[in-house]
Amino acid sequence: MKFSDVSVSIDKVQKIALEVVGEDCYFTLPYNQTEPGKSPGFVFPVGKLEEFKRYLLAGLGSVEIIT
């Protein structure tokens, strides 16, 4: 999984966080910090949330989604 200039091996991803704030959804990998206090993530439109969840589950399998 690649975030700008940061890569995280998908076999190390066990949990992801998805948080809806207004019209935005925040995706982060809170248990895969790249350095202390910094987790990879990005923001996307809340209208894409269900589609993104399906995509993640298809690609990552049994990952736990924290909301």
Cα distances from 58 to residues 1, 7, 55, 61, in angstroms, run 14, 19, 5, 6
3-state secondary structure 36-54: CCECCEEEEEHHHHHHHHH
Instruction: Please report which helix (H) or strand (E) contains residue 56, including its range.
Output: helix 49-60
- Per-residue tens of pLDDT for the chain, all 67 residues: 666 677 888 888 899 999 999 999 999 999 998 889 889 999 999 999 999 999 888 988 888 999 8
Q: Are 56 and 18 in contact (CB under 8 A)?
A: no
Q: What's the whole-model pTM score?
A: 0.83
